[in-house]
Copies of this chain bind each other. A is one copy, B any other.
Amino acid sequence: MEWVNRIILGDCEEILKGFPDNCIDLVFTSPPYADRRRQTYGGVKPDQYVDWFLLRSEQFLRVLKPTGTFILNIKERVVNGERHTYVVDLIPRMRAQGWLWTEEFIWHKKNSFPGKWPNRFRDSWERLLQFNKQRKFSMYQEAVMVPVGDWAKDRLVNLSETDRIRDESRVRSGFGKNVSNWVGRDKVYPTNVLHLATECSNRNHSAAFPESLPAWFIELFTQPENVVLDPFIGSGTTAVAAKRLGRNYVGIDINERYCRMTEERLRQSQARLLESPETFQVGEMP
C-alpha cells in the first residue's frame, strides 16, 4: 500500500497501468471537458473526446474493485449552438467496454455562472454518471441521510389512521414495526438530485466543484480506509475530501502545477485537521 495517499504526475492512462487489478473502491473524477483547459490537456477536440476517454476508462475498469463505483462528473459543452453529443456517445461506448450505467445524478448548481445569451439560459446543472462493474456494489445509504422536511413535524405527531390501515393491509404481522420505523425518525434518504453551491471560494485555487460534492459520494460508496482515486485530480478537491473523511486517496494529474497545488492543499488540510478536527456535513436543500 505504498502507492496510496500520493499525488502522481503523469497521464492517468500510463500511470494506472502500473496499478494492480481491483484495488480501488471509488473512482470520482471531473475530467477536463472537451477542448477546455487547452494548455494543460492538449485540448482534446470534442469529436475525439470519446476515444480519448475510453483509453483511460479501460484502466479505471481494471483497477476498480468488483463492488466499487465510478462517478463521472461531466457536462457536454455547446458547439455551434448545439449541445455536443460526446457524453451521450460515451455512455453506450462505456457499456460496450464492460461498464454498467447504473444511475445519473444531477448536481444543481445553486449559484451558476452568470451570463446572458439570446438562445439559452444559464446552465446550472451537471451530470454525475454512475458506472459499476456489477449489479451488486457497495452502497452505504445511511451515511448521507438528510433531515426530514418540515411537513413531517405535523405529520408524524399523530400517525394517521390510514397509515395503519395501509401498513396493515400489506403486512399482516407487524404494523407496529412499521410505525416504529417512522416515529422519531428525523432523517430521510436523499434523492438523486443534489443541491450544492459552487462555492469555490477557497484561497488560491479554482476548484471545479465544492468539496461537498466528492464528499457526498465518498460517504455514500466507501468506508474509512477505503481507497478513492481521482485520475484528473486538478486542484485536489477529491483528495482533500477523501483525507478529511478518513479514506485513502490516489490523485493523478498530467499538469505539474496542479500536482504541487494539490500537495500544498493537502498539507494545509492536514495542519487544520490536527489543530481542530472539523465535523463536516453534507446537506441537501429542500
State the A residues within 8 Å of B (CB). Answer: 80-83, 85, 88-89, 91-92, 95, 100-104, 106, 108, 110, 112, 116, 118-125, 135-137, 139, 141, 189-193, 286
Q: Which residues of B contact A121 (CB under 8 A)?
A: 141, 189-192
CA distance A147 to B106 in the complex (A): 24
What residue of chain B has the Cβ atom nearest to residue A126's Cβ?
B106
**Given contacts A121-B192, A135-B119, A193-B125, are A106 and B103 in contact (CB under 8 A)?**
no
CA distance A223 to B256 in the complex (A): 54
Report the minimal beta-carbon distance from A228 to chain B, rounded to whole angstroms. 20
Q: Which residues of B contact A118 (CB under 8 A)?
A: 139, 141
CA distance A67 to B95 in the complex (A): 37
Extra A-B contacts (8), CB below 8 Å, given A82-B135, A123-B191: A80-B135, A85-B91, A85-B92, A106-B108, A108-B193, A122-B191, A122-B192, A124-B193
Q: Are A120 and B103 in contact (CB under 8 A)?
A: yes
Report the minimal beta-carbon distance from A30 to chain B, rounded to whole angstroms. 18
What residue of chain B has the Cβ atom nearest to residue A115's Cβ?
B189
Q: Which residues of B contact A192 (CB under 8 A)?
A: 120-125
CA distance A191 to B108 in the complex (A): 10
CA distance A78 to B168 in the complex (A): 29
Q: Which residues of B contact A190 (CB under 8 A)?
A: 121
Q: Are A83 and B106 in contact (CB under 8 A)?
A: no
What residue of chain B has the Cβ atom nearest to residue A80's Cβ?
B135
Q: Are A81 and B135 in contact (CB under 8 A)?
A: yes
Q: List 29 A-B contacts (CB under 8 A).
A: A81-B100, A81-B102, A82-B100, A82-B135, A83-B102, A83-B103, A83-B104, A85-B95, A88-B88, A88-B91, A103-B120, A106-B106, A106-B125, A108-B108, A110-B286, A112-B191, A116-B189, A118-B139, A119-B135, A119-B137, A119-B139, A120-B192, A121-B141, A121-B190, A121-B191, A123-B191, A123-B192, A124-B191, A125-B192
